[in-house]
Structure 1
């Protein structure tokens, strides 16, 4: 096709009234962008929430992928070359930070990267950067009656923004090993490549390769959101406890939160301040989520002196006097409101917050498994998922909303033609027709089949071009064709609420009752107006 089909639809769409993607804030007031709305999967009455908790990385702290993920990528490549014996040619590779998206699945054995729908049918697949044909996808993933679970150990899930760099490097190494089988260490296959990439990138996050650089110039790597502090104040002023649970350790957490809660970005020589602690009741660093959410996790809870960063013992979160002390210990600044800790588990947190019932907690995070799934399924916490990509998704969905309607009409036309073809074939085969009538119907059938093929191809091309407006390779984050994507299915199952940024909470009353939209079964759409 009909490369012009989508352009034609775009011209029709642009000719229509383009109302800005905004609406009044709930209950009136200042208009806000629809892209920052909080979307609801399950009813949640904020009146029942006594404590609101946050993850830090990619939740409170939104990293700039063009700098932050590039930093991680470059460090990973260097470790592969200098520490794991990969060829020095890899140092010439470059990183396209926009190429990968969340919700993909890496096939470690075959070297493929997959996007699937909510039923786990592979709709888009690449071997390295070569797109898999329909026949290849069916042969590898659709030839058995039992659907593959697509889980570890044979597969890796790209369900966090931290994973985008490793997915891209995995694809590059698949291409490299296919074209240069003799240039990689002996015994290295696709699965070993993934294992090495994962180990190298994890080491970059833990040995200071990334964090030391970020600390010197946080404004280069982290977005500063002026509405973050007002949002935290709003929650605390409502009488709720506010807590932070992060896997990052104290030194890095203190730097990031000091930057985020400061009035301006500190320069490279600025000293981090712990003044940001005033916005939180409890802060737990080095939490080792998702194991933190399990009661049988016996990790010790250590108190942190925020001034020195020194770890101090606790006895089931109660203070332990030092050997040289005969009176209860105070922190270096004389504060008795102990709130900074490392490790522990969710039982410690509930005691610190005096939480009696898990549904009284709302936890906000970006990791579909480490933050959302475990806290919801294991504890029964209410959850809100941060999906930064949602801003672009919603904006493009709004701008092309009429194209979506046109595609629906093309699909309906295709269905109607197929139904007509079926009725004609039925008549020709089973009805007692004259020869003249059979000839007329046969000509009509030929015309319909020609038209049906034209409409089918036009629809396929237009649908693909529409998806590519969202992402050149993977299409819409939440869709594969007309089905919800695997990622969208997980969001629907495990996130009570989801939005693009934490500061969206500022747009709603702290007593807000979030209600989901009405759900429809397919049979209901036939009786509802388009």
Structure 2
């Protein structure tokens, strides 16, 4: 649901997560009053090095190409000295933390800013000797408290218009799919109360004929506990009242609203398997990797950041054509220069020069 069916204003959502997280760090004794949320500091797909206090960009083979220590970019030579030919191995979870979703933005911003504080000697001594990994653990704990204590979600549920960027076409697009014979499922880690509140706000006003968001989906599963949902069979409960009352059940049926369960249960209940299912999500690891690896589901990744990239490509079309022309001219001039240089070398050594015109 989050960042797939409902797109949030990153500055609003992650800004408030940052505020709550920094408030928790302050209560621990960290000096954070001079820090502000900077959403342009990081982007999804980067990787935090929890041991060295770096944010790194790796290529498809895992080689590290660019590095930011704290909030400062490092020159290429420094990158080579620090990492050499070291490869990023995301299986080493004690070292690397991948930014899978836009929910990772506030955590990465907090960590990089606190690395600066540690380097500047501005971490109070009474907090004990902290290395970068200990600092990351403190940041992670502070953000975890912000989510677990429920303050952030309570604020969002109270004023969803502040945080949600509505898309009137999305509910209608799902209705088109349903009317074309597709069977739609909603599987989210959010609990029922949050899911119902946010889907009501984002969908119901755009649906025709007094339809509600539940009418779009053949099955809804909340508190799914992904990625375990794709690998482990958790107890299944049916949500039986608007207040979210649960009762145990052993089989999911079409039209039902459930909590927990597993992906295998979904396949069995709907009698569909593997590549008959297209799973759409925004989490690079959970939504794309795990469902494909363990279940052979087809996957689609929602990556809103590509919208800006696409717009830039369209707007730069004329410049691209000009650049291609200049590159072709450069190749012709470069080829002629190489031939002339070879001719000069041969004549210098008293050999006949042959230059192809």
Query: TM-score normalized by structure 2?
Result: 0.88
Give 1:10-89 correspondences, 5 Å limit.
Answer: 56-82=1-27, 85-87=28-30, 89=31
Residue of structure 2 aligned with 1:358, choices 274, 292, 296: 274
Q: Does 1:108 align with 2:61?
A: no
The alpha-carbon deviation at position 413 of structure 1 amounts to 5.8
Whether contact under 8 Å (2:204, 2:211) holds in the other structure is no
Aligned to 1:493: none
Aligned to 1:159: 100
Distance 1:129 1:166, change over 3 A: same
Return the alpha-carbon distance in structure 2 between the equivalents of residues 193 and 410 of structure 1: 50
Residue of structure 2 aligned with 1:279, choices 216, 222, 233: 216
Q: Deviations over 1:17-73 (max 9, x none)?
A: xxxxxxxxxxxxxxxxxxxxxxxxxxxxxxxxxxxxxxx010001001121111100
Return the alpha-carbon distance in structure 2 between the equivalents of residues 215 and 149 of structure 1: 38
Return the alpha-carbon distance in structure 2 between the equivalents of residues 183 and 423 of structure 1: 66
Q: Does 1:189 align with 2:189?
A: no
Return the alpha-carbon distance in structure 2 between the equivalents of residues 263 and 205 of structure 1: 28
Aligned to 1:515: none
Whether contact under 8 Å (1:177, 1:183) holds in the other structure is no
SS in 1 for 2:33: helix
Aligned to 2:318: 402
Residue of structure 2 aligned with 1:140, choices 78, 82, 87: 82
Whether contact under 8 Å (2:251, 2:269) holds in the other structure is no
SS in 1 for 2:242: coil
Q: Deviations over 1:130-184 (max 9, x none)?
A: 111111111122x23x634355221111121101111111111111111125526
Q: Deviations over 1:422-457 (max 9, x none)?
A: 65665566x36467999xx9xxxxxxxxxxxxxxxx
Whether contact under 8 Å (2:88, 2:96) holds in the other structure is no
Give the alignment's Cα RMSD to 1 decimal. Answer: 2.8
SS in 1 for 2:184: strand
Q: Does 1:211 align with 2:127?
A: no
Q: Does 1:122 align with 2:57?
A: no
Whether contact under 8 Å (1:242, 1:280) holds in the other structure is yes
Alignment: residue pair count:
349
Whether contact under 8 Å (2:56, 2:66) holds in the other structure is yes
Distance 1:242 1:436, change over 3 A: closer
Return the alpha-carbon distance in structure 1 between the equivalents of residues 24 and 301 of structure 2: 32
Residue of structure 2 aligned with 1:91, choices 33, 41, 62: 33
SS in 2 for 1:126: strand
Query: TM-score normalized by structure 1?
Result: 0.61
Return the alpha-carbon distance in structure 2 between the equivalents of residues 60 and 277 of structure 1: 13
Greater RCO structure (CA 8 Å; 6+ sep): 1
Give 1:248-397 correspondences, 5 Å limit.
Answer: 248-263=190-205, 275-294=212-231, 297-317=232-252, 339-355=256-272, 357-397=273-313
Return the alpha-carbon distance in structure 2 between the equivalents of residues 138 and 305 of structure 1: 58
The alpha-carbon deviation at position 340 of structure 1 amounts to 0.8
SS in 1 for 2:205: coil
The alpha-carbon deviation at position 257 of structure 1 amounts to 0.9
Aligned to 1:224: 166
Return the alpha-carbon distance in structure 2 between the equivalents of residues 128 and 235 of structure 1: 46
Return the alpha-carbon distance in structure 2 between the equivalents of residues 251 and 131 of structure 1: 42
Distance 1:109 1:304, change over 3 A: same
Distance 1:81 1:351, change over 3 A: same
Q: Deviations over 1:220-271 (max 9, x none)?
A: 101122122222221221222111000001111111111112217xxxxxxx
SS in 2 for 1:197: helix
Return the alpha-carbon distance in structure 1 between the equivalents of residues 335 and 143 of structure 2: 54
Return the alpha-carbon distance in structure 1 between the equivalents of residues 249 and 326 of structure 2: 66
Whether contact under 8 Å (2:44, 2:99) holds in the other structure is yes
SS in 2 for 1:168: helix
Return the alpha-carbon distance in structure 1 between the equivalents of residues 10 and 23 of structure 2: 19
Please list every run of 5 or more consecutive structure 2 residues that lacks an aligned counterpart in the other structure. none
Please list every run of 5 or more consecutive structure 1 residues that lacks an aligned counterpart in the other structure. 1-55, 265-272, 319-336, 442-530
SS in 2 for 1:210: helix
